[in-house]
Copies of this chain bind each other. A is one copy, B any other.
Amino acid sequence: MRRMTARPANAHQARLLRLLRDGGPTSRAQLGDWMDLSRSRLAVEVDRLLDTGLVIADGLAASRGGRRSHNIRLAPTLRFLGVDIGATSVDVAVTNAELEVLGHVTQPMDVREGPVAVFEQVLAMAAKLRGSGVAEGFDGAGIGVPGPVRFPEGVPVAPPIMPGWDGFPVREALSQELGCPVMVDNDVNLMAMGEQQAGVARSAKDFLCVKIGTGIGCGIVVGGEVYRGTTGSAGDIGHIQAERDGRPCACGNRGCLEAYFGGAALARDAEAAAREGRSAELAARLEAAGSLAATDVAAAASAGDAAALDLIRDGGTRTGQVLASLVSFFNPGLVVIGGGVTGLGHNLLAAIRTQVYRQSLPLATGNLPIVLGELGAVAGVIGAARLISDHLFSPA
């Protein structure tokens, strides 16, 4: 099947495509109101988009007291691929042009196996989704990787947890393989975009999105746009010092937040608690599985295990301390907590909130919601689809 080749020819067309993406099928009149453009001018641009095939006019909407309107909508055959590469697993999903998830698969994986092995797996997963009938091909793909990215080129730079990826031309390689445009970004930024597109951050302009997975990162959104920093490492808060002369961290420093919290540290601490006899619940789970993960701590905590609860509270408190500084500095309108350990749920959230509300300036916390992300594992893939659609729905 032929895939999307056309691109919007001007800013009006780009804006139309995004409005249709986020607002669904819409009449010409409605679009004119939204864009603050005369109906005559708008009609021209819509007609041009119809010519390109990027949008179609199908069916008539119900009358609202007058002539029935034509539904203008994005081409129903458009398909985006969203890929979220984590430290220990990978998510691949297919969306339509409205960024609704049509198919989604998750598999365990180890990033340290390097880009070649990982992308082989990703391509197999994409092929599987295509085989299941939700897509005949892809018009674009967004890729999230767990480390800093030189965004314009789509190349990871100096990623601590994925050494083999440094400088690998992810964007170019995948674009070749998939035969469609590809954009690459940090997984945390994609989570923020996902929650902004379809989650709790829909109406937020300036917000932070803290992802607590194997590591800890923070997506920064300024004026509705992801802020990536000068070298693409903005939001890398895992190695902010949480304790002076504290625990040694893999990065070479001491007392980093990630040395105390995040999936890896949490599992380590839980195993220690089990071995030292501080928790029968955790010890039993360690006995059964041979090792522990963040989910075990969550399960133990909801079973009332005191040691597990302590671990969560302590991690939340440390995260909250760091976050309190960032809230004072950045004065966001919303803070979203997400990532693998959100299974820890409200115990974690309560600890974070307590710390932030206590330590940050009243003016900054006065009306500051701190909430859990509502999309879970699909936040990343929706963000990835949004990334590539933002790219494709911008003037050529």
Report Cα–Cα, A331/B150, bound state, in Å: 13
Number of interface residues of A (CB under 8 A): 45
A158 to chain B, nearest CB (A): 5
Contact with B along A212-248 (1 / 0, CB 8 A): 0000001010100001111111111101110010000
Interface assignment of A108: CB less than 8 Å from any CB of chain B? no
Interface assignment of A34: CB less than 8 Å from any CB of chain B? no
A330 touches B229 (CB 8 A): yes
Chain B residues in 8 Å Cβ range of A332: 229-230
Q: Which of A158, A230, A244, A367 gathers the greatest number of chain B CB atoms within 10 Å? A: A230
Q: Which of A236, A332, A367 gathers the greatest number of chain B CB atoms within 10 Å? A: A236
- Stretch in contact with the other chain, from A96-104, A116-124, A276-284, A319-327: A319-327
Residue of chain B at shortest CB distance from A235: B329
Chain B residues in 8 Å Cβ range of A222: 222, 227
Interface assignment of A328: CB less than 8 Å from any CB of chain B? yes
- Stretch in contact with the other chain, from A62-70, A168-176, A358-366: A358-366
Report Cα–Cα, A332/B220, bound state, in Å: 13
Residue of chain B at shortest CB distance from A207: B230
B240 touches A329 (CB 8 A): yes
Report Cα–Cα, A333/B333, bound state, in Å: 25
Report Cα–Cα, A191/B188, bound state, in Å: 32
Report Cα–Cα, A237/B239, bound state, in Å: 19
Chain B residues in 8 Å Cβ range of A363: 148, 157-158, 231-233, 236
Q: Which of B206, B231, B333 lies in contact with A364, CB distance below 8 A? A: B231
A359 touches B253 (CB 8 A): yes
Report Cα–Cα, A218/B328, bound state, in Å: 11
Report Cα–Cα, A333/B368, bound state, in Å: 29
Task: Tell me which residues from 330 to 346 in chain A have a Cβ below 8 Å from any Cβ of chain B.
Answer: 330-333
Chain B residues in 8 Å Cβ range of A205: 230
A237 touches B157 (CB 8 A): no
B331 touches A233 (CB 8 A): yes
Chain B residues in 8 Å Cβ range of A364: 229, 231, 233, 236
Report Cα–Cα, A56/B329, bound state, in Å: 44
Chain B residues in 8 Å Cβ range of A324: 240-241
**Residue positions of A touching B, CB distance < 8 A:** 148, 157-158, 205-206, 218, 220, 222, 227-237, 239-241, 244, 251, 253, 321-322, 324-326, 328-333, 358-359, 361-364, 366-368
Please list the 6 inter-chain residue pairs (A to B) with the smallest Cβ-Cβ separation, ordered nearest first: A229-B331, A230-B333, A234-B331, A233-B363, A240-B325, A233-B331
CB pairs A–B below 8 angstroms (19 shown): A148-B363, A206-B229, A206-B230, A229-B331, A229-B332, A229-B364, A230-B333, A233-B364, A234-B329, A236-B361, A237-B325, A237-B328, A239-B328, A239-B361, A240-B324, A240-B328, A251-B361, A253-B358, A325-B325
Please name 14 further chain A to chain B contacts, defined as beta carbons within 8 Å, in addition to the given A206-B227, A230-B368, A231-B366, sorted by A numbering: A206-B229, A218-B329, A220-B330, A228-B331, A233-B363, A233-B364, A236-B329, A236-B361, A236-B364, A237-B329, A239-B361, A241-B324, A322-B325, A325-B326
